[in-house]
Amino acid sequence: MTALSIPSPSSGVWYLGPLPIRGYALAIILGIIVAIWLAERRWVARGGTAGDIADLAVWGVPFGLVGGRLYHVATDHALYFGEGRHPIEALYVWRGGLGVWGAIALGIFGVWLGARRKGIRLLPVLDAMAPTVLVAQALGRWGNWFNQELFGKPTDLPWGLEIDPDNRPVGYFQYSTFQPTFLYEFLWNLAAFVVVVWADRRFTLGRGRVAALYVMAYTLGRGWIEMLRIDDVELKDVGGLRFNVWTSIVLFVAAAIYFVVSSRLRPGRETQVYDDGRGPAAATESAPQAGPPTDAPR
C-alpha cells in the first residue's frame, strides 16, 4: 500500500432491518434521477413539454436495465453457465454487471415506444437526453467502487485504489493498490458532458448529431480506460484487444460518419419536436373555443 491511496469501502451493502441497501444500486438510481432532471431541462429548452422525459423514462429505464444485463451475460456467459456455475445468478443484478451498450440499445428502444405513444420525434428527444446519460454513467461508476470491481492494473501512484485481497484477480494477490478506472471514467464522463453540451449550444446541433457526439465522446474515453482494466472477461483477447475496446472503436467510427454525413445532408436543428398534429400546440388548437358571450336569462 502506498503512503497515499484511495480507500475502498469496507462493505458495499448496509441493512435497514432486514432490508439490504446496496451502494451499487444507490449509485445507479442516483445517476438515473439526475439524468432525468437534466434531460427535462434540455427537452423544454428544445421546445418540448415538461414531464415528457419522466414519462419516457418509465419506458427507457426498465428496458435499459434489462438490455444492460443481457449484454453482460451474453459477453460473459461463462460466469453463469457451464459446469459448476449457477445460471440463476445471471439475475443477480445487484452484484454488478450491466453492459452499457446493451443498456443504450434497449433503452433507446424503450424510449422509442414511449415516444410513439406521445407523438414525440425520436431524434430531438435523443439529442436532449444523450449528454445527460454521461452524467448517469459517471455517477453509476461509483457502484464499481462500492463493489471493488472493474479496477485497473497495479500502480503505486498516489491515487491508487486499495483493493481487499478477496477481490483481487488471480495473479495479482501480491499487489494492494490498482488503477482507479471507476474514477477515471467518472471524471471523463463529466468532462465529456460539459463538452457535448457546449458544442450543442455553440453549433446548434440537431437531427441526432448530439447523440452521435455523445457516442464519440464516451467511446473515446472508454477505449483507453478499458485497456487499463484487468478483470477476467471472456472476450479479453479479440485480435489483441478486449472486445469492449473494439466495440468502442467501431461505434466511434460509425458515430463520426453519421455526424459528418448528417451535417452535410441536413444541417441545422429541427424546429418541430412533435409529430404533426401532436404535442401541446396541437392540443391547444383542438380544444373547443369559447363562443361569444350571450345574454343569460334573468
Domains of the chain by residue range: 22-275
Angstrom CA distances, 153 to 62, 156, 183, 210, stand at 33, 10, 14, 33
Question: Cβ of 22: how many Cβ atoms within 10 Å?
Answer: 20
Q: What is the mean pLDDT of residues 108-133?
A: 97
* Cα gap 132→284, rounded to integer Å: 30
Residue 223 banded pLDDT, cuts 50, 70, 90: very high
Q: What is the dihedral of CA 262, 253, 216, 141, to 10 degrees?
A: 140
Q: Are 270 and 123 spatial neighbours (Cβ–Cβ below 8 Å)?
A: yes
Q: Taking a C-beta distance cutoff of 8 angstroms, is the pair 276, 120 a contact?
A: no
Q: Dig out the grid coordinates for 266 from the structure.
A: 441536413
pLDDT at 298 (0 to 100): 47
Containing H/E element for 162?
strand 161-162
Q: Are 75 and 99 in contact (CB under 8 A)?
A: yes
C-alpha span between 272 and 48 (Å, rounded):
9
Q: Is residue 168 marked as binding?
A: no
pLDDT(295) > 60:
no
Average pLDDT over residues 109-129: 97
pLDDT exceeding 70 applies to what percent of the chain? 93
Q: What are the tens digits of pLDDT across the range 270-292?
A: 999 999 888 776 655 555 655 55
Contact (Cβ atoms closer than 8 angstroms) between residue 80 and residue 87: yes
* Cα-based distances in Å from 122 to 52, 64, 130, 275: 12, 16, 12, 10
Which pLDDT score, from 0 to 100, does residue 233 have? Answer: 83
DSSP 3-state of 244: helix
Comparison of pLDDT for 171 and 93, the residue scoring more: 171
How many whole angstroms separate alpha carbon 25 and alpha carbon 12? 10
Cell of 127: 439529442
Residue 114's closest CA among 69, 70, 61, 67? 61
Mean pLDDT to the nearest integer, 16-42: 96
